[in-house]
Amino acid sequence: MSSAIDVVRTEVFSASNGDRAGNRNVAIIFIHGVSVDQAAVMRAASAARREGIALLVVGVTDNVDVRQMDSIASYPMRSNVFRVQNYYSFINILTGLTRTACNGTFLI
């Protein structure tokens, strides 16, 4: 998971790949388990947030570590962490997730 967050930070949100200065960068991270290297995940998430990337986290199933989700998400965590039971129930949070990604306030 840390590698995915690092790719978002170094490649996806880069000027060479079309990132535009002045526009907000929001990444939605889907988690369906627990990372074996939580320290690396926390470092990657912190680095992304320091570079101004807002991180929203969606936990899928009950096999997720809520504390890990909170450590990844931008602040306020209460607004940026979502949970669903399975990918089919993702539709139930889509409106809130979209509203947060497009209009939310992030403390980075």
pLDDT band at 108 (very low <50, low <70, confident <90, very high): low
pLDDT band at 56 (very low <50, low <70, confident <90, very high): very high
Tell which wins on pLDDT, 77 or 5: 5
| 30 strand-pairing partners | 58
Enter the tokens of residue 39.
Answer: 């320290």
- Whole-model pTM over 0.85: yes
Mean pLDDT of 54-60: 95
- Where are the domains positioned within the chain? 2-103
**Tens digits of residue pLDDT in 6-43:** 999 999 999 898 888 888 899 999 999 888 899 999 99
Mean pLDDT of 48-76: 93
Contact in structure between 82 and 57 (CB atoms under 8 Å): yes
pLDDT score recorded for residue 69: 94
User: Any idea how long the chain is?
Assistant: 108
Enter the tokens of residue 5.
Answer: 């967050």
Q: Distance (Å, rounded) from C-alpha 40 to C-alpha 24? A: 24
Enter the tokens of residue 20.
Answer: 């535009």
- Taken in order 99, 28, 105, 13, the sign of the CA dihedral is negative
The CATH number of 2-103 is which of 3.40.50.620, 1.20.1530.20, 2.60.40.180, 3.40.50.410? Answer: 3.40.50.410
Rounded (to 5) percent helix, strand, coil in the chain: 50, 20, 30
